[in-house]
Structure formats: structure tokens, C-alpha cells
Amino acid sequence: MNFTIFDYFIVTAYIILIFYSGSFVKKYVGNMADFLVANRSMGFHLGLVSLLSSEIGIITYMYLSEAGYKNGFVALMIGIPFFIVFVFLGKTGFIVKPLMDMKIMTLPELFQKRFGRGIRFLSALLMAIGGIINFGVFPGIEANFINTITGIPHKYVFFTMVVMLTIVLIYTALGGMVSVIITNYIQFILLSLGMVFIAIVGVVNMGWGNIVASVSKNFGEKGFNPFIGDFGWNFIVWQLLFQLSVLAVAPFITMRIFSAKDTKTGRKIFTWSSIMFLARAVIPVFWGILALSYFTLNPGKPSNPMDAVPLMILNITPKGILGLVFASLLAASMSTYASYLLSWSSVISQDIIGVVANKLRGGKDLPNKTQMIISRGTMLAVMIFIVWWSFFYHFQGLVFFYLMLSGNLYLAGTLVSAIGGIYFEKKKFGLFRARSGGAYFAFILGAMVVAWYFFPQGFRNLFPDFIKNLYPSDPIKSGSVLGYWSYIIAAGGMIVGSFLHNLLQPIKNEREM
């Protein structure tokens, strides 16, 4: 075991503090609106804390540091699209301002308003599938990380993960967004300390000159020049579109922004998040580069690249501080789990089960209490699924591409339909006015492009040649290409589908919309 008694004390004290804060806020939560968006009372600084805490977890450190470890400095490119898109959204209010002005809780609600119940259901279904298979790899990767850092034998890691997830489930279910806000705050203090600490100790330990020399030795110019590897123009175009859709329409982000007390605060959070999210990508990628340098300079290079960063942290962290660093990493993860659980369970309970129940009950919504029970039951079901998926799924290629493309399953259709529903829903657009036919095409076609990435090779071989020829020969190496094509095809689907819908079934009066 790598921990001293002091380290165990710090980690245990942290878990007790988090659990206590979750149960403490229970008495303040009155109804579904309190539960989901904390009565829209979150200010600018707290909004920023909340957004960052939920978007930084051990999984974030792992997939970003893996990219740095396997590619060198060029992987730092990952941070740049975040920066550009956050500034763009904050300054222009594109998509996010109309959404905040409408005061909707989840994006599928917008789709129901604009395109009808069917699109709300389809969008929520794709969101749930894409979101949960994305979320589903978190526990497995994190189990590996925790195992390496603490020295807990492999046979107990599953148990550790279940304990951690159970704690998250309890405090999230107890307090909803309110408990997420308070725990996020505690966690942000720890995670920001930990992130900067590891980066600085790493540089002091290895020296900048050695770090540059290690990247040069392992990758040559490919480690420095982004335009000759996997992080060139294809990557930039895809990531700009992808980040635009994540930041403007992904439920785990929009839930944070919709909790801001007004539209102005929400936009301000976006603008300032640009700098923080640049660092959120850059610092963990740099850890990967530090690990590469560490194992170039020292013996003991791990056979599994995912072990490189935890092993480096273990080796460079001074004794007695490991518990604090570990608590900071754990802190980051717990808020991410809580936020994702809350987002995906609300999509399933409100937009899938809620829509079906509403139809069955002749247009009447479920009572508040039943909605709460369904929401909590869904959280438990999601939790069980992700633990199972984590141990079932085997990766090919970078984890980064798996995570981005699983999000892309619903994000291409969601972005295109949100733009259509907000900006192209007026009569003046004539035959190109956004209609539900276009939204169906956008969601289905957008998802079909990236679904190819997740099919096993044997399954891909079952398709006829003319379909196989439409896709890149090696989808694992062509993640960026599949990514940006999903947006182009979804946009084409929206235009053609809306055109056909308007042509075959014109709107006779505005009430039909």
C-alpha cells in the first residue's frame, strides 16, 4: 500500500465532509425546480466553480494526459477550441441567450415546443444512449487510476468504485443541484490546488529542458508541429463544431448555465470559462507530457500508458502530501459523477419516461412526488449500467476520441436542431423553415455517421461495400473526419428534411407549429 495513516485520515475526512454537506442541504429542497436548478439563484463565481468542478474529474485527467503522453506538445491543441468557442458563446449569446431567456430546464423541452413530442423523445433517447455509453467508461478508467495511486490490489478496486459511486448517488439524490453546488465548491478548492501542484512539482522535478528533449526524442517534429499529425486542421474544424455543441446544448453544461440567476450572469460565466477551460485541457495534457519525460529519464516505463500519469504522481509527490493530492483528484471525480448522474437521469425521467407517461395519461404530467421517485430510481439504474459497461468495453485508439465521438452520437443532431428551432422557425424561411421532418433527419443521420466508430470490425464487415466505402477505411484513426462529417450530414438532413416536410405538408395556420 502506498498510503500512510495520515493520507488515509485526509481522504476519510474529505468523504465524511462531502457526505455531511449533501445531507445538510436536504431540508432546503422543496420541489422539482429546487432539486434541479437550485431555484436559479446561482451567481457568477459560484456558477463558474460549479461548471468547472463538474467538468473536471479523474476521467478528464486520464483521457487528456493519455493524449499528451502519446503525442507530446501537439496534444495541447485540445485546449484551443474550448477557448475560442467559450469566448464566442459568451460574447454573442449564440443559442445560449434564447435558451436562457425561455427558462427551459432541458433542451428536449425546446424540441417539444418547436418540433413536437416525437422529436423530444428521439433527442432524449439519443442523448441518453450517447451520454451513458460516454459516462459508462468512467468507472473502469478511474478504477485503474485509484488502484495505481493507492496500491490497493486489483481485486478490491471494483469494491472501491462501488463505494465511491454509492456515496455520490446518496448525496446527489438527497440534495439535487443544491448539494451539487455546495460539494462542487469544496471540491473546486481541492482540485485547483492539486492541478497546479502536480504541474509545478513535475517541472521542478524534471526541468523544462529535459521535458522538451524527451518529447523530441520520442516523437521528433511530430510532437511539436500540430499540422503533421492527428491534431491538424481536421481536428480543429471538428473540435470547433463539437465544442460549440457541447457548450451550447449538452445537458450537463446547460443545466449549470440555466442555474445562473439571469441571462447576463450565464453569458458572463461563458466568457470567463474560456480561460479556465483552456487550463482544464492544457494542465492535464501537460501531466501526460511530464509522465513521458519522467519515464524517458527514469526506468520503469509502464506497459499500459494509462498507468503512466498515476505512477509519475506517486513518484514525484512528497511523502505525507499524497493523501491530499489523492483527495483533490477524488474530489474532482465525485462532482463529475454527481453532475452527469443528475443530467442523464433528468433526461431519462423527464424527457423519455415523462413524455411517455404524459401521453398515456392523456396530456397530464406526473405528480411532483412521482417525478422525484422516478428521477432517483433512474440514477440508480444509470449507476448500475456504467459499472457494468466499464468492465465490458475494450478500447481501441485514444480514450479522448471514444469520449468525444460517443457525445457526437447526439450532439450533431442536437446542435443542428437547436439552431433550426431557434433561428429558422419563422414563416419567412418558406420551404426551408425548420420542421420536425428536418429534425428527424438531422438526429438520425448525424448519429449514423459516428455510430460506425463504435461498431466492432466483424460487424462493419457485414455491411455491403457501397456503405463501407462511404466511411474511412480505418475509423479508429479517422475520428476527426467522422466527427465533422456528422455535423455536415446532420445539417444537410435538416435542410432536406424540412424542405420535404414543408413541400408535402405545408403549415396552414401557425398553431400547427
- Applying CB under 8 A, the residues found at the interface with another protein are 27-30, 34, 38-39, 41-46, 48-49, 73, 76, 79, 178, 181-182, 185, 188-189, 192, 195-196, 199-200, 208, 212, 216, 221, 224-226, 272, 275-276, 278-280, 282-283, 286
As a dihedral over the C-alpha atoms of residue 475, residue 479, residue 482, residue 483, rounded to 10 degrees, the angle is 160
Q: What is the DSSP letter of 305?
A: G
Cell of 5: 495513516
Whichever of 37 and 157 has its CB closer to another protein, that residue is 37
Query: Taking the complex as a whole, how short is the minimal distance between the CB of residue 49 and another protein, in angstroms?
Result: 5
| 237: Cα within 13 Å, side-chain hemisphere | 14
C-beta of residue 454 within 8 angstroms of C-beta of residue 134:
no
- Residue 291, C-beta contacts closer than 8 angstroms, at least 6 positions apart: 65, 68, 69, 308, 309, 311, 312
Task: State the nearest-atom distance from the C-beta of 278 to another protein, in Å.
Answer: 5
The least CB distance from residue 272 to another protein, in Å, is 7
- Name residues whose C-beta falls within 8 Å of residue 47's C-beta, 6 or more positions apart in sequence: 256, 257, 259, 260, 265, 266, 269
Task: Give the shortest CB-327-to-another protein separation in angstroms.
Answer: 16
Q: Judged by CB, which is closer to another protein: 83, or 111?
A: 83
**Could you tell me which residues are beta bridge partners of residue 42?**
260
* Distance of closest approach, residue 282 Cβ to another protein, in angstroms: 4
Q: How far is the CB of 25 from another protein (least distance, A)?
A: 8
User: Least separation, in Å, of the C-beta of 221 and another protein?
Assistant: 6
Residues 6 or more apart whose CB falls under 8 angstroms from that of 249 comprise 95, 107, 411, 414, 415, 418
**What is the per-residue DSSP string for 38-70?**
GGG-B-HHHHHHHHHHHT--HHHHHHHHHHHHH
Nearer to another protein, 244 or 279 (CB): 279
Comparing CB distances to another protein, the nearer of 143 and 278 is: 278
Helix, strand, coil fractions of the chain, as percent rounded to 5? 85, 0, 15
Identity of the residue, 46 or 439, whose beta carbon is nearer to another protein in the bound complex: 46
Nearest distance from C-beta of residue 41 to another protein, angstroms: 5
- For another protein, the closer of residues 262 and 512 by Cβ is 262
In three-state secondary structure terms, 397 is: coil
Question: 203 vs 314, which CB is nearer to another protein?
Answer: 203
Q: How far apart are CA 374 and CA 83, in angstroms?
A: 37
Cβ(146)–Cβ(157) below 8 Å: yes
- The DSSP annotation for 130-155 comes to HHHHHHTTHHHHHHHHHHHHH---HH
Closer residue to another protein, CB minimum distance, 277 or 401: 277
**Could you count the other beta carbons within 10 Å of the beta carbon of residue 441?**
25
Query: Which distant-in-sequence residues (6+ apart) come within 8 Å of 221 by Cβ?
Result: 228
Nearer to another protein, 176 or 497 (CB): 176
Q: How far is the CB of 194 from another protein (least distance, A)?
A: 11
Looking at the Cβ atoms of 280 and 376, the one nearer to another protein is 280
Rg (CA), the chain: 23
- What is the SS3 assignment for 260? strand
Residue 393: φ, ψ to 5°? -85, 135
As measured in angstroms, the least distance from the Cβ of 280 to another protein is 8
Nearest distance in Å: CB 99, another protein: 22
Which one, 18 or 29, has the nearer CB to another protein? 29
- Type of residue at 284: P
